[in-house]
């Protein structure tokens, strides 16, 4: 986390003050995920977005920068960017969830759906550098809702961070 005076005028600005609260984090995380190396955007809010910072760090680590441009008391501006030497885009991992809830990685070409011994689903939007072991650790005990074969990494992190299901139930 850094403090700076200004950002590039060519970068988009996301002013979340007019966006319904339940839509803010998903919108910002998707915008962050979509950043190309060397690009960024400015987030504007009426309070310190520290909880979002913690979520961005958990999901993206050093692959994303967070720089305060303005720190209150009425307005906070933060530049979120992907460094020029950014890593590869997010990846996916196919996982077999056994009948007992145990999770194991399977080949990328394994068909999704019911399989011998369980259900094959795809964990999507894994941040760059995420290992299969990290995904499998988050998957332990997860049973996806009926018919849901794609689970976002973000939802698994939210579940581990205290949300009952990381939004999987609704």
Residue whose C-alpha is closest to residue 142's, from 162, 160, 161: 160
- What spatial distance separates the first Cα and last Cα of the chain, rounded to whole Å? 33
Backbone angles phi and psi of 81, in degrees to 5: -145, 165
Residue whose C-alpha is closest to residue 82's, from 67, 93, 70: 67
Model pLDDT, residue 92: 85
**Ranges of the chain with pLDDT below 50:** 1-8, 86-87, 165-170
> What is the spatial distance between Cα 148 and Cα 97, in angstroms, rounded to a whole number?
13
Asked if 69 contacts 22 with a C-beta cutoff of 8 angstroms, the reply is no
81 pairs with which residues across the strands? Answer: 40, 65
């Amino acid at each position: 986390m850094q403090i700076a005076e200004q950002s590039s005028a060519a970068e988009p600005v996301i002013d979340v003050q007019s966006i319904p609260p339940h839509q803010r984090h998903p919108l910002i995380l998707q915008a962050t995920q979509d950043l190309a190396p060397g690009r960024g955007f400015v987030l504007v809010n009426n309070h310190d977005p520290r909880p979002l910072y913690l979520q961005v760090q958990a999901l993206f680590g050093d692959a994303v920068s967070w720089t305060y441009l303005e720190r209150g008391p009425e307005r906070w501006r933060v530049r979120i960017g992907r460094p020029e030497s950014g890593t590869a885009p997010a990846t996916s991992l196919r996982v077999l969830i056994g009948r007992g809830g145990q999770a194991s990685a399977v080949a990328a070409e394994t068909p999704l759906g019911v399989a011998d011994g369980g259900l094959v689903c795809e964990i999507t939007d894994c941040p760059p550098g995420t290992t299969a072991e990290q995904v499998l650790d988050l998957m332990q005990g997860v049973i996806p809702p009926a018919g849901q074969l794609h689970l976002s990494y973000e939802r698994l992190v939210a579940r581990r961070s205290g949300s009952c299901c990381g939004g999987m139930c609704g």
